[in-house]
């Protein structure tokens, strides 16, 4: 399956890219994240408190993915 993965805020800065295309056998967003951490050294995506979206809808890491989906990762936002 082919997916577009987007990175926002400090994830984009840490990885030096806005997005990339990935191919693989993914069941969930967490599978995508695990591949990126392992293959691309995207250790920043190993954080416990990250947020994700599938096709622009906020979701959890156990969200299923399908061919052509857009997955996004971004850090949690805090205010004060």
Residue of 3 and 39 predicted with greater confidence: 3
42 sits in which H/E element: none
Q: For 31-35, what is the mean pLDDT? A: 95
Please tell me the pTM assigned to this model: 0.91
Domain locations along the chain: 2-75
Reported as a pLDDT band with limits 50, 70 and 90, residue 42 is confident
Reported as a pLDDT band with limits 50, 70 and 90, residue 47 is confident
**Which CATH superfamily does the domain covering 2-75 fall into?**
Beta-grasp domain (3.10.20.30)
Q: What percent of the chain has pLDDT over 90?
A: 81
Q: What is the pLDDT of residue 79?
A: 57
Q: Quick check: helix, strand or coil at residue 70?
A: strand
């Amino acid at each position: 399956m082919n997916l577009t993965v987007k990175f926002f805020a400090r994830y984009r800065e840490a990885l030096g890219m806005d997005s990339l295309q990935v191919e693989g056998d993914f069941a969930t967003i967490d599978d995508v994240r695990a591949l990126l951490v392992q293959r691309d050294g995207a250790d920043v995506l190993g954080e416990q408190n990250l947020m994700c979206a599938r096709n622009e809808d906020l979701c959890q890491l156990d969200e299923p993915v399908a061919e052509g989906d857009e997955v996004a990762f971004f850090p949690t936002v805090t205010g004060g």
